[in-house]
Structures are given as structure tokens and as C-alpha cells.
Structure 1
Amino acid sequence: MLVSTKWLNEYVNIEGIKPEDLAEQITRSGIEVDSIIDRSQGITNVVVGYVKECVKHPEADKLNICQVDVGEETTQIICGAANIAAGQKVVVARPGAVLPGGMKIKKAKLRGEESNGMICSLQELAVEGKLVAKKYAEGIYVLPETAVPGEDALALLGLDDIVLEFDLTPNRSDALSMLGVAYEVGAILSQGVKLPEISYPESTEKAEDMLKLRIDAKEDNPMYVAKVVKNVKVGESPLWLQNRLMAAGVRPHNNVVDITNYVLMEYGQPLHAFDLDRIGTGQITVRLAEEGEQLTTLDNVERTLHPHQLVITNDKESIALAGVMGGLNTEVHEGTTTVVIESAYFAPASVRRTSRELGLRSDASTRFEKGVDPNRVAAAAERAAQLMSEIAGGEVLAGSVTVDELDKTPKRILLSPDTINNHLGMKISLEEMLSILDRLQIKTEAVNGKLVIDAPTRRQDLNIEEDIIEEIARMHGYDTIPMTLPVTESTPGGLTPYQAKRRTVRAFLEGAGLYQALTYSLTSKEQAQAYALETAPVTELLMPMSEDRSVLRQSLLPHLLEAATYNVARRTDSVALYETGSVFLGKGEDDLPKEVEHVAAVITGKWVDHAWQAEKKAVDFFVLKGIVEGMMNSLGLLKGLTFEKADVKGMHPGRTATIRHNGENIGLIGQVHPSEQKKRDLKNTFVMEMNLEKVLSIETEQLVYVPVPRFPSSSRDIALVVSSETSAGALENVIRNAGGKLLKDIKLFDLYEGDNVEDGKKSVAFSLTYTDSERTLTDEEVVKAHENVLNALTTEAGALLRG
């Protein structure tokens, strides 16, 4: 909402108050002032000029030599505007003038002819092109004949004005009008509001004799007021009216349309003007549209209507979309002589639905959607009739054609002063509360220790106790609310063990080089159970946005793979992402899905890329396996962590494993199946997903300090020939169980298949470390422990010692 301070001053006295101070007070009271706009833009030395003579430049076809009276003298100015002509009053920037952007005007010669200044368009005075009347959209701006040469053009154009731009919250629709803003500013400054005085001569002829009205959809349109104005002369609006509309961000058209827009901005009540002769039937009927009914709106777009959309008709065809936009077939034009002024109350839900379905928003629909003041509907029509009488020379017919079944009773709210103070933690006196409500012009009585409040209908946002408490708080001053700490026995806040562990997981993965991703919880039915660690009935949305977002996910991996594809397609060759988020399994309590937190990761491309050292290493299964082991180690859960070969749909059959902890399945790790990689345009891609809730719920042993060994250790290397199907993990378990307390460390350091190893066999080499923290081991003790290991490998795993 753009608020001209010059216009505002007509309703509430703000003389002598700096715009910056006024903006600060308004912001502190609850309506944020986004910006303060100086319409003069630093312009100086711009005056009214009278073009006495205009002839073509002898050396340039598109230039004109003008003799211009600027008050104190007649001077020569070269002008290239196509619409320049003798006899016009124009805006002249004299030599030495400063225009927006700091441009200075100097005397100059154009093709040999002297030019002493510049004849200006409104755009050159920093008025947006979309706000300039179409007649002057190209070329210079022509002032009214009453303009006096030499007088200040800025004042004449209303550019000596400051405009406040409000950033309104949806509940403050009352401030979408100048009167609404005046009530707000009046309350802040403890001043009354001066309302427009409405009076005009009425014809002896009655409006109801020329126009009939019927409402067939009274739920959507409980009130409709029509005024009839005859002998209207359609033309250009007076300059003051155009100036105010442009200051409010509205483009002038003609005096009739401009008056409806002016009253819209003044009262917040949308109006529409019909050409009565174009209505044709002398009848207005408000009804719901018929299926497939066509209407060409004022923007010259033919629209197909639906049965629940409210339309204004002439009892034969639609002539307007109620509350949204008028129809082209009854538009006011230069030949219009009789105007019907429509002022109505349309149900917000009806207007909102029509506007949304047709993709058509207007200043009128914006206000109707939020709810207009029922008590301004008739007043706005009277105000428009007055202005048409004064500005367009119209003859207003007696009375109005009206249907009124609208409840205009103010909302009554009962509230205790103690309740207000208890909510705010303050001690505001009853007298101060009554004073604030009186300044806001909210009718209030104190009865038996309670405030009996009749909320004015202009304030559609005042419905419950809390709304009144907010009014008192903001007008008393939010900055005066005392800062107090709650008086209670409390303990310092902190993270739960689960939250702390989750942060440890995120910190480790980010430290390992993975970026956190956040993806949708909604997915398609086809992707819902892909890569799921645990499947259950899917949860479908009743009203999904699209088929791709119609069910809740049961795995994080499909969307992470989509993110990887998106990045790779944009020339990010190496991608490493992780996510912690919820998956949703079947139905739990109250028919709601069970929500389980998972962690997942996807990596593809290069893991090491040191160009200077000419070192490049692609990601592989063991990179991601190492990340998982490091993450589990950071949680103190490395002991008991194992990986077992698995066969999972969508995963590489030879490079996929389940992740287990003490035998319990907690996740999945492996390479995406080559066919799936090809479909997603990915190179070798490795993924991991774990049940984070299960992992973080595992109890860990208390950390115990182990001194650095003072005694030397002894190492033994063994190379074993085993079946190709035997996993290194299974051999490691056998070694660990057989090694006893002296075996401290096991490392796999070699795997070989090929020459000198028979088919179906492989060679696996381990390095074993034996030590005792209390003494130095003898060779006999190490040999005995090592033989136990070899015997166990032979008997339990069928391994042969390789020579």
C-alpha cells in the first residue's frame, strides 16, 4: 500500500511531522513502513511553460524549434517529442535544473540551433511509465490550460510529496485505504479523523425508474447498491485526481474510471462503472455462472466460466465477474452518457476462488478477498456519485437501487482488564486502556469490571479477546513491555543424548567431505519403497500436489540419487551428499504412519583429485565403507560392526552389503546397479542408508582410558587359501575368537586371485598383532596363540596356509 502524505493530511493533521518520524511511529505501532519515497527525486528548477510557437527544425525532421514562455521570459527550446504543438502548457526544465539521477540541464546547440532547457515527459521526472496515462505514455506531458507559465511544476504535478510504502500483514486489510490509514495515524497521534463531506444536487428522476435489480445468489452477494448518473461527460480527469492516483500506484484512464479507482483507494471499497446504454435491458441480475459461459473481461481476454463463479448480468448475458473485473461489453467509453455505479459486498471466499481459478487478480479482488467494511458499501457509492457530479458534470438520479440483507452488527467482545495485563505481563491502568481504544475509535464501555467492546466493522481483524489485547499492546508500545524471566525452578537447557549423537553424525559426515541435502518427504508410488530397509503399506495423500508427490517415502535414497543426477547434469562431476530425515512406515497409532529417522549418503565421481600432484582416485565401495566405519567409531560403535554380502533390487549384485551391529541389521551399503546408473546418467555411484534411530539408540560402553603399552608387541602375517565364497569378515571373526586376550589387532592387507591359485579359490592375507599390557611376551606364548588361530581357521573356515 502506497500512502501519499499530502493526501493523508486531508483526513488527519500531520503538518509539521517529519515523514521519517511518522514512519517510525507507524512501524512501532505494528504496521511496517517498508520505504519512504520522495517523489521529487531531488528535482530542481522545473517550471510550467507555454509553447507559443512550434516549427520544424530545418536540419532535422524529428526535431522542433519551440518558443516557450516560462514566466519571466520567452526562450527557445529544441524538442523531439512527436506530440509537441503550439498552444500547449508543458513541463520545462530550465538551464541549471537537476533531474532524477543527478542529470543537469545546460544550454546547448542542436544541429546549429540554440536550446535553453528541456520540455519533459513524466517519465523524465521519475514517474513510472506504467502509471502515465496512455495518452502521454510516449512524448511530453501536456498540462491543463489553467496552469500558469513560470509556476513550480513539481507542486502542480503533486511531485512535492512523500509516499510511505506499507508492508501490510494479511489481517490488516483495513489499512488498504486512505481512511483506514487515517484511523491508524489518528490513533497514534491522538487525533480525530476528518471524513469526506458528501453532498450533491439530486435529480427529481428516480434511479429505480431506470434500473431494476435482482440478486439470485444472496449468500455470495448479500448487499448490492447501484447509483445512476445521467449526462456524464467522459474525459480527462483533473490534474489533482490524476496526481493522487499515480501517487497510489494507479494509472489514470478517464474521469469516470478514475473516480471509481479514487474511491477504492480512499474508502477501500471496490466500485465498478457500467455504461447503462450498453447494459441494454435496464436490468442487473447477480447470479452464478452457467457451465461454459463466456465473458470477455476489460483486459480483452475471453474467459470460460464455471457454475460456482459469481457474475453480474443484464439478465441475458454476463457483463462482469463479481468482485474481480468488469466486462468489455459494458465498458465506459468516450461516448458514454449514463453511468451505473456498482458498490457491493461480495463474499470473500467466492471472490478468492474465482480469482484463483481464472488467474486474475485486481485491486478490487485483493480487497474483497480480505473482507470490506459492510458500513462503507453505500457510503462509497455516494462518494463516487458526488465526484461524478462535480468532475464529470453528471446528474445524479434520486435514491439508489439496493438489495441489502447484510448483517452489519459490530462484533461484541467482553474482556477483563486483568486478563489484558496478565497476558502482557504489564500493569496498564483501566484509564489507559479506555484511552487507547477511544483513540482507535473502538466503542468501549466499562461495565462491572469488564470492557464491553463493539469492534468497528472496518476492522475485520478484531474478533476475539487476543485481538483487543494486541491492539492495546501495540498502541501502548511493544518496546514498553518489561523484560522478565519466568519465576520457576528450572534446569539449564541442553541437548538430549539422542540430539547430541545426531549432531555427531552430521559433523562427521560433513568433516568427511559430504554436503547435507534436504529433500521432499513426498514421492511417487513407484519410488516410495525403492531401496527401503523395511517395507510397509505406503501412506497416500488425500489431495496430492501431483502424482510425483502423492505418497510418503520409505527410503531417503531415491531423492538423493535425483539430487546427484541434477548436479551431474550441470557439470558437477563429483558429488557427495548425505541426509538425515524421516521415512514413514505403514500405519501406527491413530492410523498415522510410523516415523523413523534414517541417515543416507550418495557419492559418485572422484574422491581424490590433486591436480598438482597428478593424483586422481575414483570413489569405490571401500571409500563409503570407510566413512560408515568412521561414523560408527565416532559414536563408539565400531566394535560389533560387520558387513555381509546382500542382494538388493536396484543394487549391484556383487558390491552390496547389509550393515550389521552385533548381528542386527541396521542398514545397507553398496553400488547402484549399472542399469539404474545408466538410466540416471551417472557413473559408478555408491550409496548408504542406515536406520539412524536404531543406531543412536544402541547403548555404548563407558569410555575407559587405556594406557599406551609400555611393552613391545609381536606381529605375525598369514596368507590363507580359502573358497572364493568365504568372506574376509567371516575369517576375521574366526581369528578374533581364537586369538584370545593376547590378540590386539587384525588387519587385512592383501587379496589375490589368479596364477598359482586354483579356480574357485582366493588368497587372503592378514597381519596379526599380539601384546600384553603387563609384560613382554615370550616367543612360546606368541607361537601358542598363533597356532590356536591357525587351527581354528583350518577347522572352522576350511582355510589352508599358503606356502
Structure 2
Amino acid sequence: MLISLDWLRTLIPTDKSAAEIGALLTGSGLEVEGIEELESVPGGLRGVVLGEVLTCEKHPDADKLSLTTVDVGDGTPRQIVCGAPNVAAGQKVVVALEGAMLYPSQGEPFKIKKSKIRGAASEGMICAEDEIGLGTSHAGIMVLDTPLPNGTPAAEYFGLGSDSVFEIGLTPNRADAASHYGVARELRALLQQPCHLPDVSQFQAPATAASNISVTIEDEQASPRYAGLLLENVQVGPSPEWLQRRLRSIDLSPINNVVDVTNFVLHELGQPLHAFDADQITGGQIRVKRATEGEKFVTLDGAERTLKADDLVIADANGTPMALAGVFGGKTSGVSNATTRVFLESAYFAPAAVRRSSQTHQLKTDASFRFERGTDPNMVPVALQRAALLLQEVAGASIAAPVVDEYPAPVQPATVRLRLSRVERLVGQYIEPERIRQILMDLDIQISEESTEEWNLTVAVHKVDVTREADVIEEILRIYGYNNVALRPFNSASFLAKFPNPDPEVIRQNTARLLSGQGFSEIITNSLTNSQYFEKEGEPNETLVHVLNYNSADLNVMRPSVLHSGLEVVRYNLNRRQRDLKLYEFGKTYHRQADGQYQEKNKLAIYVTGNATAETWQHKAEKTTFHDLASVVQQVLNVLGHAAPAPQPVQHPYLAGGLTLLVQNQPVAQLGAVSPGVLKRLDVGQPVWYAELDWDWLVRKYKAALVARELPKFPEVRRDLSLVVDRTVTFDQLRQIAQRTEKKLLQSVNVFDVYEGENLGADKKSYSVSFALQDPTQTLTDQAIDAVMQRLIGQFEKQAGALIRK
């Protein structure tokens, strides 16, 4: 949500800077994610001032140039060479001083420098309007008629100001702040300074009219309040500059004065409006009703939509839909350049009704965003009057009939019992009752009854999320300030908590340090993802956990695998030419089981792609391989106390070959190359190696891997063997044979070369294997070493059919 500071100050006058206001709002729960500075003219005319031409003579060496002296208010006249034909002594002009950066209407920006033109020094520039971006004319310099003194900033003369725009990450529970007035109310409580609604006291509607649009609400539960106003003599056209500037400041494009006014009021007051062409309302009647199952409706974007029976629509006397209530208008009843009569709608629709239609038809609009979260039913007439006055001003409209306001069952405010002792307990600090009273008053929460121990409160209807005592205390704490809750000098608990041993969070942190130390970057991705990743040829995946109230079709299920979320990060980096990536993520996966129950699991995902080493003058770049990934996975398992997992071929729906690692016959890690089909589907243009570890199981079975022991006193001995075996024999099989054969002296087994070739024979390969032998009690003799190696050779020949190469 974007909020303009200049606009905000029309509702709550404050001299606080943008940074100060941003800090206040963030501290109260309206997180300001960024502040952008907007300027009416690029550069803000910095370094451009008003001046007066004192003298003007022909340049001695150029017929079309003039040599002038200009007073710019600092007591030192400037000599400026000017090529404009209309320059003359005595003129008030616009002068760009040395060092000013100008942004012309056409062409590239340029900086004013002290220079010589045809041998004459020039210390600035007398400007035409196109040269400073204020227009397109280049016929001559701007000649001003103003009493302002020389040296006055040009931005002040032209009324150009800058604006700061807040980008606020609005959480779903803060529907009350989804507008400039909503943010102003928040600041009222934070600054203890009054804010005010726009003045609508001049609104007047006739008591009677020859004709009017009648309103019938056929579903009072879905539409508790519906108001409207008939306007005539409307002249549809472009909006005035001030209105266009307001909309552009919050990244909205002006359309025409009628639509612009409805958008302006929406973002000012938080109340969505809709304008109908009154001549297109058949029978002069508005019916708020449920749609007929299967009927067709063409929305403003030109798309034909099939309505459901539970869609709430705004229909004419014949029941023909003209708008999808609270979501989107219809094409045939919308305002066009030929419109002269407008029926202006201001309503309160139930959040569930709007949310259902918005989700069904995949329509997300500024109006549905607010209706889905809950708007203020009391703002309905205020917004209607505000819009009518603006349309009188910018479109020449006249109010042709009384306001129609159907409100059969007014929405009642919530009542809450507040215990002062509960405030202190939940906040963790005593707050003076008078301070609590002031905060509640500033938040439009009234005290209806009170005693020394508890108060009965009436909560304003615009605070749709404040319905319980805990909600009220949260509101008090927000305004009181989280930072004002002091830590007590002595913290204690009434019981000793049983802490898990080992602590899962410590295990996670240690693993993260290991991976980060290996050059990996941690990522955090969304648990929501796109169901199309997991549905084959349009067939739904029954194990998916679908989100009923999703905001985007790309985020409509809880992810069953961490892989795709990480691949989106890989794609994002590849598209920005960051091709060498090492990433990891601790994330959750979600599945729906056959019995309808849901399952949530923790995973550790690891990704490597691109080059393992960068190109230097010493060696060429080397691509990452499966073994780079496998080495990292093995290090993680070592740290977690599982040093010797058993490998087997991978069986993973998204991997094209690899290994599954087993510990205690439990698959704890699956690693390999991401299949080309998955990469193509996510538009990832290079191979990616991926590992997925069962983090829940690994933490549950964690074994402290660090064991302190005395350094060995006697040396380690290495012996090598070259073994020719069938191609199907794996190194892991050889390693297990060796460990079973010699359990006392054998410390480690490693393969340092693998060879396949025609000279070995068909379906054969050669492993070059090293063996580290050590006796902690004595130095090994040649006889003892040879005895061990002979036993190993015998078992390799017997169990693996190995041929020992001499």
C-alpha cells in the first residue's frame, strides 16, 4: 500500500519528517518497507533561482548572442552569455547557477559549468521553459512578473514541491489503516494530535426529485448497507492537474475525472465507490442480489465470465448484472465519454461475499482488497458526499436527487470487557490508567462503564479485528510503544522449564554455520507455491494442500517439495547473470494424506549449479558435479553423527539419477541432478544439483559427533590397491568389505581414481583405493601391515570378484 506524505498532511497537519513518521508507523505495526522521494520536476530545480537582468549588450564576436549581467541575489552579479532573442535589461528571469543539474523536456540532463562562449566568460544560464522541464517552448527565455526578491528558489516561485511516498506492508488485521485517513488516525494516536475528515459540510441534495434510481437489497446479510446518488450534467474529461498528481504519487494512472474521483476517495477514505452510467440502468432500479447460476457477465476488462449462484451482483430492474459487487464493474454500464448522468454507488458489503467472488473469478482489485478485509459502514455516506462535491468541482456535475441509503440492520460495534490487571500482565509493565484512557480515546474505543478494576468498552466498527480483550491490549501496547516496555532488573520464572537436549535450534544453527562456511548462502522462500508444478497433464494431485483463500493463482497450494521454491530463486539469479550458486534452505513441506489428515515435515534443501571454481590465470573454471554436492551432504551427516550412510539408487520424482542415503534403513537424504523436465518447466537454463534431507528424522536421531580423544603417539601407514571389478560393483561395497575384514587397524578407506577402458575388458572398471592403517599402542611392522593387506585382498577377490592389478 502506498501513502503520500503530502496527501497525508491534508488530513493531519504535522511537521514530522518522512523518516520520523516512517519510524513511528513501523513501531506501531504499520511496517514501512520503503520511502520514495517524488519530485514534480526531475531534479527539483535545485540550483535554479530568480534573477534580474541588469545589463544586456550584443556579444562582440557573435551576432545572435547577448552579453548580460544578472543579479541573483547574493551581491555578486553574474556575467552570462545568452542566445535568446527576447532577452533585455530589466527583466526578471530564471537563472541556472554554476553546478545546477538541468533536466530538459527533450534530450539528456546536463550540468551548468563555468565556460567561455566565443571568448566571453559565462557563469550560468538564463533559462527557457523547456530547458528546465516545465514545458516545450524554446522560443525564448522565461520572463517573469513577480515581486519576489532575486535569489528566490525557482521551485518556490513555480509552486513545485517534493513528496515522500511510504510503501506500507499492510497486514490483514489492519483493514482500518487501508487509506490515507486510516493512517492519519494511526498518527493521531501516536502523536496525540487531531486529524480530520475532508470537509463535506457544503454537500446539499434536493429533498425531492422528478426521477431517481431506487435501490432494493435482496440479500441483507451479504449487503448490509447500500447508498447511491444521482448526478446530472456530468462532463467526462481529463482530471485537473492536482487530482492527477495525487493519483500518480501512489502509482495510479489517471483515466477520466469521474473514475479518478472514485479512485481518489477510495485511497483517501478507504471506502470503495463505483460510478454507473445512469442511462444504462434499465427500469431506473438497482437490485443487490445473488446471481443466477451459469449466467454470463462481461466485466470492464472485456472478459466474459460465468457467474455462480453465490456471487453477489448489482443488477438492474430486469435482474441483469451490471457489476460484481465489491469487485469489478460491468462493461455495458460503465462510464464513457458520452456519459452525462452518473449513479454513484457507496456500499458496505460483507467480507465473505466479496472474498468468495474475488477468488472464484480471480479478480483482485483495490476495492476487493478492502472489502475482503472489512470496511467501515459508517464511512459510506461520508465518501458519497465527498465524491459528489469533487465531481461538482472537476466535472461540473449537479446533484439531481436525494441520497438513497438502504441500511436495514445497522452493524453493531463490538463490546469488550477490559481488566486493568490483565493489561499489566500481558504488557509486562504497569501503564497509568489515564494513559490507557487517552490511547483508547485516540483509537475511537469508548469507555461505556468503568470501575477501578475493569472497564466496559465499545469498539468503533472500523476496527474489525478488535473483538477480544487481548485485541484491545494489543492496541494499547502498539500505541504505548513496544520499545517503552522496560526489561526488569530481575527476571524469574515460577518453574524450571525442561529444555530439550540436544536443542534443535542449536543443531540447526551449527549446520547453517557449516554450510555458510563452505560458501553457501541461506535462502528463505514462500511455503505457498503454484499447484501447476505438481499436476501432470492437467490431472490434479490429490496429496496437495490447497489454500482456500489465496490471493494469486501462483500461490494456491502449500508446497509438497522445497525444490521448486528454490529453483525460482535460482532462476531469478540466472536471469541477472549470477550463474554460480550454492544455496541452502531449512523449509517445511505439506501433504494431504489419504485419510484426509494433513502432514507437515521439515526439510534441509541444498542446491549447487554453475562453476565450482572461478576461472583464474592459474586454472580454468570447473563445473560443479554430483560429487561436489555429495561431499557437502556427507559433511552435514557427519556433523549430525551419521558418518556412514548406506547408498542406493535414488527414487525421487524430480531427480534424474542420483543416490538415496540410508541410516538405520531410513532414507535420510536424496541427492542428484534435477530432471530436465522440471528445469524446463521453471525456465532454469542450466543443470542444477539438488539434495533434500529429512531434517525431522536427523534432529530426532542426532548424535554428538565431536568426541575428544588423545592424539595418537604412533604413525599412520598408507597402502594402495588397484582393483578391477565388474562395472556394477560400487566403491561403497568395497568400503564395507574392508571395514568388515579389518576392524582394529583400518582407520579409513578412500578411492582416488576410477578408470574404465577397452583394455580392462567389457563391463569392467578399475578402482584405485587407499587404506590408512594405525595401531594406537605400537608402531606397525611390515609383517603386520602385509598380513592386513593380504586379508583384504582375499576378501575383495572372494566377495567382489576383484582382480588385483600389480
Give the Cα separation in 1 of the matches to 2:675 and 2:229. 75
User: Which has the larger displacement, 490-499 or 413-422?
Assistant: 490-499
Is the contact between residue 671 and residue 684 of structure 1 (CA under 8 Å) also seen in structure 2? Answer: no
1:310-338 per-residue CA deviation (whole Å, 9 max, x = no partner) reads 12425364444433455564556777665
Asked whether 1:282 is paired with 2:284, we answer yes
Q: What TM-score, normalized to structure 1?
A: 0.65
Which ranges in structure 1 are unaligned for 5 or more consecutive residues? 48-75, 80-91, 110-114, 127-137, 141-147, 530-536
Is the contact between residue 282 and residue 318 of structure 2 (CA under 8 Å) also seen in structure 1? Answer: no
Give the Cα separation in 1 of the matches to 2:798 and 2:211. 113
**Structure 1 match to 2:447:** 444
**Structure 2 match to 1:496:** 502
One-letter amino acid of the structure 2 residue matched with residue 306 of structure 1: L
SS in 2 for 1:467: helix
Is the contact between residue 640 and residue 705 of structure 2 (CA under 8 Å) also seen in structure 1? Answer: no
Shift of 1:430: 1.7
Pair member with larger Rg: 1
User: Which has the larger displacement, 329-338 or 368-377?
Assistant: 329-338
Give the Cα separation in 1 of the matches to 2:577 and 2:385. 65
Which of the residues 433, 437, 453 maps onto 1:434?
A: 437
Give the Cα separation in 1 of the matches to 2:374 and 2:331. 26
One-letter amino acid of the structure 2 residue matched with residue 378 of structure 1: P
Equivalence map 1:106-145=2 (5 Å):
118=128, 124-125=133-134
Shift of 1:180: 4.4
Give the Cα separation in 2 of the matches to 1:648 and 1:547. 27
Give the Cα separation in 2 of the matches to 1:158 and 1:643. 76
Give the Cα separation in 2 of the matches to 1:263 and 1:25. 25
Q: What TM-score, normalized to structure 2?
A: 0.64
SS in 2 for 1:281: helix
Give the Cα separation in 1 of the matches to 2:130 and 2:414. 53
**Structure 1 match to 2:95:** 96
Give the Cα separation in 2 of the matches to 1:259 and 1:679. 46
**Structure 2 match to 1:212:** 214
Give the Cα separation in 2 of the matches to 1:684 and 1:266. 50
Equivalence map 1:244-643=2 (5 Å):
263-264=265-266, 267-279=269-281, 281-290=283-292, 291-295=294-298, 297=300, 301=302, 303-307=304-308, 308-315=311-318, 317-324=320-327, 326-327=329-330, 329-330=332-333, 338-355=341-358, 363-385=366-388, 396=399, 399-448=402-451, 449-484=453-488, 486-488=491-493, 496=502, 539-541=543-545, 591-593=597-599, 595=601, 638=643, 641=644
**Structure 1 match to 2:65:** none
User: Which has the larger displacement, 414-423 or 189-198?
Assistant: 189-198
1:550-599 per-residue CA deviation (whole Å, 9 max, x = no partner) reads 89769x89999999999999999998877777778996999444847577
One-letter amino acid of the structure 2 residue matched with residue 283 of structure 1: Q
Is the contact between residue 718 and residue 772 of structure 2 (CA under 8 Å) also seen in structure 1? Answer: yes
Shift of 1:434: 1.9
1:333-368 per-residue CA deviation (whole Å, 9 max, x = no partner) reads 777665434332233344445456666555544443
Give the Cα separation in 1 of the matches to 2:332 and 2:415. 44
Shift of 1:95: 3.2
CA RMSD of aligned residues (A): 6.5
Give the Cα separation in 2 of the matches to 1:786 and 1:644. 26
Equivalence map 1:681-720=2 (5 Å):
697=701, 699=703, 703=707, 705-710=709-714
User: Which has the larger displacement, 94-103 or 472-481?
Assistant: 94-103
Over 3 Å counting, the alpha-carbon distance change for 1:24 and 1:719 in structure 2 is closer
One-letter amino acid of the structure 2 residue matched with residue 322 of structure 1: A
Over 3 Å counting, the alpha-carbon distance change for 1:446 and 1:94 in structure 2 is farther
Shift of 1:443: 2.4
Give the Cα separation in 2 of the matches to 1:508 and 1:28. 35
User: Which has the larger displacement, 469-478 or 485-494?
Assistant: 485-494
SS in 2 for 1:198: coil
One-letter amino acid of the structure 2 residue matched with residue 435 of structure 1: Q
SS in 2 for 1:427: coil
Over 3 Å counting, the alpha-carbon distance change for 1:460 and 1:784 in structure 2 is closer
SS in 2 for 1:438: helix
Over 3 Å counting, the alpha-carbon distance change for 1:703 and 1:230 in structure 2 is closer
Shift of 1:479: 3.6
One-letter amino acid of the structure 1 residue matched with residue 492 of structure 2: V
Over 3 Å counting, the alpha-carbon distance change for 1:225 and 1:468 in structure 2 is same
One-letter amino acid of the structure 1 residue matched with residue 305 of structure 2: T
Give the Cα separation in 2 of the matches to 1:269 and 1:722. 78
Give the Cα separation in 2 of the matches to 1:690 and 1:322. 48
Give the Cα separation in 1 of the matches to 2:742 and 2:315. 93
Is the contact between residue 157 and residue 239 of structure 1 (CA under 8 Å) also seen in structure 2? Answer: no
Which of the residues 217, 221, 224 maps onto 2:223?
A: 221
Shift of 1:703: 3.1
**Structure 1 match to 2:170:** 169
Shift of 1:423: 1.9
Give the Cα separation in 2 of the matches to 1:353 and 1:580. 34
Over 3 Å counting, the alpha-carbon distance change for 1:39 and 1:708 in structure 2 is same
Give the Cα separation in 1 of the matches to 2:242 and 2:678. 69
Shift of 1:606: 8.0
One-letter amino acid of the structure 1 residue matched with residue 485 of structure 2: I
Over 3 Å counting, the alpha-carbon distance change for 1:409 and 1:157 in structure 2 is farther
Is the contact between residue 19 and residue 36 of structure 1 (CA under 8 Å) also seen in structure 2? Answer: no
Shift of 1:223: 2.2
Over 3 Å counting, the alpha-carbon distance change for 1:494 and 1:759 in structure 2 is closer
Is the contact between residue 103 and residue 133 of structure 2 (CA under 8 Å) also seen in structure 1? Answer: no
Is the contact between residue 207 and residue 401 of structure 1 (CA under 8 Å) also seen in structure 2? Answer: no
Which ranges in structure 2 are unaligned for 5 or more consecutive residues? 52-82, 106-111, 118-124, 139-143, 149-153
One-letter amino acid of the structure 2 residue matched with residue 286 of structure 1: V
Give the Cα separation in 2 of the matches to 1:201 and 1:567. 59
Give the Cα separation in 1 of the matches to 2:386 and 2:678. 70
Give the Cα separation in 2 of the matches to 1:767 and 1:103. 72
SS in 1 for 2:424: helix
Give the Cα separation in 2 of the matches to 1:390 and 1:649. 66
Give the Cα separation in 2 of the matches to 1:259 and 1:683. 50
